[in-house]
Amino acid sequence: MIRLKTGNSPHVRTQDTVRAVMIDVLIALIPATIAATVFFGWYALFLIVLGAVAGELIEFLIMRVIRKKKDFVWDGSAAVTGVLLAMNVGLGTPWWVFLIGLFFALVVAKHAFGGLGQNIFNPALSGRVFLLISFPSYMTGKVFLLPDATTSATPLTMFGDSGHNIKAVWDSGITYWDLFIGHVGGTLGETSALALLIGFAYLVWRKRIKLMVPISYIITTFVFALIGWAINPRLGDPLFHILSGGLMLGALFMATDMVTSPMTPKGQFIFGLGAGALTYIIRLFGAYPEGVSFSILIMNALVPLIDKYTQPRIFGEVKE
Amino acid sequence: MKLLTFKGGVHPPEKKELAKDKQIQRLDLPDTVYVYMANHAGAPAKVVVEKEQEVKTGQVIGEPAGFISAYVHSPVTGKVVDIKKMLHPIIGKPVDTVIIQRTGDDEWELLEGHGSFEDKSPEELVDLVKKAGIVGMGGAMFPTHVKLSPPPGKKVDTLVINGAECEPYLTIDYRTMLERADELLLGIKILKKILGVQRVFVGVENNKMDAIKHLQKVFSGEPIEVVPLKTKYPQGSEKQLIYAITGRTVPRGGLPLDVGVVVQNVGTAVAIKEAVIDGKPLVERGLTVTGEAVKNPGNYIVRIGTPAKLVLDKAGLDESVDRVLFGGPMMGIAIRDINTPVMKGTSGITALLPEQTQIKMPKPCIRCAKCVDVCPMNLQPYLLYHLVLKKRYDEAVDIGLMDCIECGSCSFICPSKIEHVRQIKLGKTVYKALRGAKK
């Protein structure tokens, strides 16, 4: 007698899993990892790998020891957080400071809210801001740039310190090409727009991205910078603003974090719009030279509200 | 060529190749049939035969017990051996079932007044359809005569014949279009006369181009347009099909009639021809027996009430089978008992191995928004799931719980393996029960 199993429709599913999603994100971060190693040296690679390994380890301990989930198996999401946090710290960050940040990201920003899928704020960005406030001396300041080991402040720091005069940046010898390939000061993963775009293209190809978020984010920053530039050319042209600082990393990899971004294209558009506008405003008027992290975290907090007011119109619903 | 389609949807593996080249064959008459009185949506029919009574093939054994109900006929010539309640796979509860032991070859009791359709009025034709116990054979089993009797004031101007067959694995509609196009044409002509419509479309997914070409050849000179549709699930869902072909949107909570359209499945149209021209009530249907767990997939004409096991044995069932489905993998129902009888809406019997079903533990939602992207009704499956789980039924209804067509695209695509459809079905049932209790 054959015993039949039962189950609910649909009886077939995609091969896709959460782990596969996270692995794709990690793959997409490989070009930026290479760029970080090329421009900042082996210690950058060490921090990034440490982020991945320690992230999974910390999550394992949280799940098994604190939350007592015996069936926990790794899904890669903590590795993504670790790598992204490494991309968001400067080369001067000691490994133990980095680990404190990672611990904060996973324990407070992620698991205190309920773990995977439940967190309101992007864990990596929460970790970064925590470090920025707790260890400001390590997080800002000058970095050594390979191959000639010159010291360099970040373009946005030069821009901010000069009272928002773009001339200070160009006078230091930085070119658009440097900004594009990433041969400037900055956090480990943010400098190379080229590497980030290659990784992003991979995510788009694998359909792993809420596409409207980066489009709306980058265009908004561009438009705001364009307006600022038209009013006063000293404020820098739009291209400078989208290529410098953490904008590319933020728009392509941080704001697009699935858990902390809106569910509909309309909501994603508003999310990107808010983040883009806040980024430019903080750069010009904020206490910090860069505003990407704060902008995204602020918009993270608004996601439930955005989702509530951008619900899709049900098929067959009459237009009002 | 511009392909017609709808917004959203998914591309599950088609698996049509298993059975698509197998000609329709007749399965040997079963020795015993088990005929549910709920072989249709709506009120179960009332049994009108007694134990030990002799019945002929096509003789009425159940009469409609309400407006939305249907006649049920004996699928074989034999003797009623028992009338008892048996578990119904869709309703999930035992329903009256007439068990008939076959005593010999078919002795038909044909429908009164059958023959030609040209000389009959639409009312007479609808009556024949009703007397034949015809229901929607795509799976929903909604009584066809009800669908063909639009309330006064509703003007129907378009007939859509559903040959999309978007459900993976199933090929019976495809084979019917290839092998029974002449009968399909007659069925369409009868439907046209009943509805008084001029515009007729036959929608077929473009993974069945040979069926499209064949129909275009057979229908040449007739005012019937065979339209290729993009191969995408759930293209054959009524509302999505109407939108793809006519551009009309069935309003929320409304019916195709509200936009002047009637949709009939290919198999139903053929059944209408058999009833009106040949006088045969709906006592048999074509179905596909397929899936990785059968050795010889095929397409068969099977009497209603035939235990699934007989069909599966014919196809050679693999012992390591995981699930047997009535229907295909996206919307089919897993039967508990391998002897569950074939119903009027059973378009296929799909037997899957554990490799295909791959049960995985659900993970937390990572808000990837894929379910929202693919929902053909433009709902938010993740939120419906959450609200039903939290028993917040009224809020769930506000955001479209009752609009869900249960196509399963959301659960199919979900990387976290969340059971949206299961939860939504549960929510609908509970909500209806609660609303009923309040009244």
Contact present, B228 and B204 (Cβ < 8 Å): yes
Strands B158-162 and B199-205, how do they pair? parallel
Phi, psi values for residue B171, rounded to 5°: -135, 10
Cβ of B247 under 8 Å from any chain A Cβ?
Answer: no
pLDDT of B360: 79
Q: Dig out the tokens for B151 from the structure.
A: 């309330």
Among residues B242, B173, B167, which one has the least CA distance to residue B211? B173
- What share of chain A in percent tops pLDDT 70? 95
**ipTM of the predicted structure?**
0.90
- Rounded distance between C-alpha atoms, residue B339 and residue B289, angstroms: 15
Residue A5 banded pLDDT, cuts 50, 70, 90: confident
Question: pLDDT for A254-300, tens place per residue?
Answer: 999 999 999 999 999 999 999 999 999 999 998 888 889 999 999 99
- Rounded distance between C-alpha atoms, residue A84 and residue A52, angstroms: 9
Task: Say which CATH topology domain B112-276 has.
Answer: Rossmann fold (3.40.50)
- What share of chain A in percent tops pLDDT 90? 72
pLDDT of A149: 54
Cβ of B81 under 8 Å from any chain A Cβ?
Answer: no
B265: which strand partners? B162
Residue in A closest to B327 by C-alpha: A9
Among residues A213, A212, A206, which one has the least CA distance to residue A122? A213
Residues 290-329 of B with CB under 8 A from A: 317, 319, 321-325, 329
Cβ of B12 under 8 Å from any chain A Cβ?
Answer: yes
pLDDT of A135: 87
Instruction: Tell me how close the Cα of A36 comes to any Cα of chain B, in angstroms.
Output: 28
Sheet holding B298-303, edge to edge: B24-26, B298-303, B284-290, B348-352, B323-326, B333-334
In chain A, what is the straight-line distance between the N-terminal and C-terminal CA atoms, in Å? 59
Instruction: Map out the domains of chain B as residue ranges.
Output: 112-276, 370-438
CA atoms within 13 A on the CB side of A21: 27
Cβ of B379 under 8 Å from any chain A Cβ?
Answer: yes
Instruction: Tell me how close the Cα of A315 comes to any Cα of chain B, in angstroms.
Output: 5
Question: pLDDT for A81-95, tens place per residue?
Answer: 999 999 999 888 999
Cβ of B365 under 8 Å from any chain A Cβ?
Answer: yes
Q: Dig out the tokens for A122 from the structure.
A: 């992007």
Contact present, A193 and A180 (Cβ < 8 Å): yes
CB contact under 8 A, B403 and A6: no
Among residues A155, A143, A151, A141, which one has the least CA distance to residue A244? A155
pTM over 0.80: yes
- Rounded distance between C-alpha atoms, residue B434 and residue B108, angstroms: 46
pLDDT of A153: 77
Residue A67 banded pLDDT, cuts 50, 70, 90: confident
Q: Output A163 or A108, whichever has higher pLDDT.
A: A108
Give me the tens of pLDDT residue by residue for chain B, a chain 439 residues long: 568 999 999 999 999 999 999 999 999 999 999 999 999 999 999 999 999 999 999 999 999 999 999 999 999 999 999 999 999 999 989 999 999 999 999 999 999 999 999 999 999 999 999 999 999 998 889 999 999 998 888 899 999 999 999 999 999 999 999 999 999 999 999 999 999 999 999 999 999 999 999 999 999 999 999 999 999 999 999 999 999 999 999 999 899 999 999 999 999 999 999 999 999 999 999 999 999 999 999 999 999 999 999 999 999 999 899 999 999 999 999 999 999 999 999 999 999 999 888 777 889 999 999 999 999 999 999 999 999 999 999 999 999 999 999 999 999 999 999 999 999 999 999 999 998 776 5
Cβ of A97 under 8 Å from any chain B Cβ?
Answer: no
> DSSP letter at B368?
-
Alpha-carbon distance values, A286 to A158, A164, A230, B337 (Å): 15, 11, 21, 69
Helix H segments across chain A? 18-28, 30-40, 42-61, 77-87, 95-104, 123-134, 136-139, 155-161, 167-171, 176-181, 193-205, 212-231, 238-243, 247-249, 265-285, 292-309
Question: pLDDT for B149-207, tens place per residue?
Answer: 988 888 999 999 999 999 999 999 999 999 999 999 999 999 999 999 999 999 999 99
Contact present, B164 and B243 (Cβ < 8 Å): no
Distance of CA B250 to the CA centre of its chain: 20
- Rounded distance between C-alpha atoms, residue B391 and residue A191, angstroms: 48
Q: How many CB pairs under 8 A join A and B?
A: 160
Q: What is residue B34's three-state secondary structure? A: strand
Alpha-carbon distance values, A312 to A307, A315, A317, B397 (Å): 9, 9, 10, 15
CB contact under 8 A, B377 and A314: yes
- Rounded distance between C-alpha atoms, residue A32 and residue A199, angstroms: 8
E strand or H helix at B300, and its extent?
Answer: strand B298-303
CB contact under 8 A, B250 and A10: no
